[in-house]
Amino acid sequence: MKNDNTILITGGAGYIGSHTVVELVKAGYHPIIVDDFRNSNKSVIKGLTELIGESPIFYEIDVCDKIALEELFERYSFKGIIHFAAYKAVGESVAEPLKYYRNNILGLVTICELALKYNVHNFVFSSSCTVYGEPKGLKEVSESTPKSEPNSPYGNTKLIGEQLLSDVQKSNKDFKIINLRYFNPVGAHPSSLIGEFPIGKPNNLLPFVTQTAIGKQDSLLVFGNDYPTKDGTCIRDYIHVCDLAEAHVKAMHFLENKSAECLEAVNIGTGQGTSILEVIHLFEKIAGLKLNWQFADRRNGDVIEIYANAEKANQLLNWGAKYTVADAINDAWNWEKKLNEHV
Ligand code: UD1
């Protein structure tokens, strides 16, 4: 089918993927979602339909299923690909590394093979600040900060993914790639029509905070209180998911306008570090309630402190975060309350 602005978005029903679909439509693109819903929730389609004014086009396909995917490359003429589909739970990846290597690496190989075969040259990859490992010196990392070992198989799949893309780009100079290194995505769409659907017990901080506040979890455990940080708890760069979604649109736009070869890694964060205790206190202030929480032992593999230098995103993509951490917490809380209305 011919639409000059058609973008393939793998994992487009997921947390970051669904918010990116909204931003793509807003910017005049025509997203085609591939998702097998193993880690997403079908009700996202309803929320997306309300937000974009029509039902999104989606195909229930495993990103490793090359035969099924190839049919889509035959049917559509994609201008670019945004590749989200991957597993992302750090702890699970330690317990089941092969599950992560199979899905995250094989999925990427499959998509790249088809991209090359069908001459789809604009490629945005979901990478992560996990590729930096624990920053050795300055906690504010730029793209040129030397990397140390990622702390998990999940992190390794992101680093290998970037290396794989670099090798592919070297042998195919027409292939243009941006690796977006996300810091900590949080929040939900301000409309509360889409957001995150954690399956089982959430691994990430903010869904655990909101689920504790709503009563789905008894108590939040704060992992570690004796780190060498301002208040003893870990520090992260929490970035609103809508800001992150917009970064994908800007990255795609940049690639389209780039005629020569391109391989870039770009940090997507606010540039501001926030401790776990600061998140809790902000949440309590915004929600107007006391959160049930307690300190627990350090979590294995946690980075102590990391936040983005986001200058490159600003200069290269003309992107900068518009939302604050408080906005993100507010939207995450509204989303949690909305989810609870349907229970
Ligand atoms: C990790 C990965 C990141 C990945 C993300 C996806 C690293 C360094 N980072 O982020 O690349 O994209 O997972 O899931 O591997 N915390 C608690 N209690 C909780 C949950 C979390 O105290 O119940 C703490 C953690 O110990 C950490 C902070 O909150 O210090 C943030 O944790 P989390 O939301 O899980 O994200 P990261 O581990 O930073």
Percent of the chain with pLDDT over 90: 91
Q: What does the pLDDT look like over 230-278, one tens digit per residue?
A: 999 999 999 999 999 999 999 999 999 998 889 999 999 999 999 999 9
Predicted local distance difference test score (pLDDT) of residue 342? 62
In-domain check, residue 36: yes
Residue 206 C-alpha to ligand 1 middle, in angstroms?
9
The predicted structure's pLDDT at residue 301: 83
Bridge-based pairing of strands 235-236 and 274-275 is antiparallel
Q: Which helix (H) or strand (E) holds 264?
A: strand 262-268
Instruction: Tell me 169's DSSP state.
Output: H
User: Is position 47 within any domain?
Assistant: yes
Q: Which domain holds residue 82?
A: 6-188+239-269
Q: Supply the mean pLDDT for the chain.
A: 96
Q: Is 16 in the pocket of ligand 1 (CB under 6 A)?
A: no
154 catalytic, yes or no? yes
* Ligand 1 close to Cβ of residue 90 (< 6 A): yes
Q: Is residue 68 part of a domain?
A: yes
Residue 164 lies in a domain: yes
213 within domain boundaries: no
**pLDDT-based confidence at 60, cuts 50/70/90?**
very high
Mean pLDDT, rounded, for 94-120: 97
Tokens of 35: 């998702």
* pLDDT tens, residue by residue, 6-25: 999 999 999 999 999 999 99
Q: Is the pLDDT of residue 1 over 60?
A: no
Does residue 155 lie within any of the structural domains? yes
Instruction: Mention every residue, 6+ apart, whose C-beta is less than 8 A from residue 34.
Output: 8, 9, 10, 11, 12, 58, 59, 61, 63, 69, 72, 85
340 falls within a domain: no
The total number of structural domains in the chain stands at 1
CA distance 110 to 116: 10
Mutation probe of ligand 1 site: the residue of 131, 159, 204 with most atoms within 8 A of C-beta: 204
In a domain, 335, yes or no: no
| C-beta atoms surrounding 139 within 10 Å | 17
Say which CATH number the domain at 113 has: 3.40.50.720
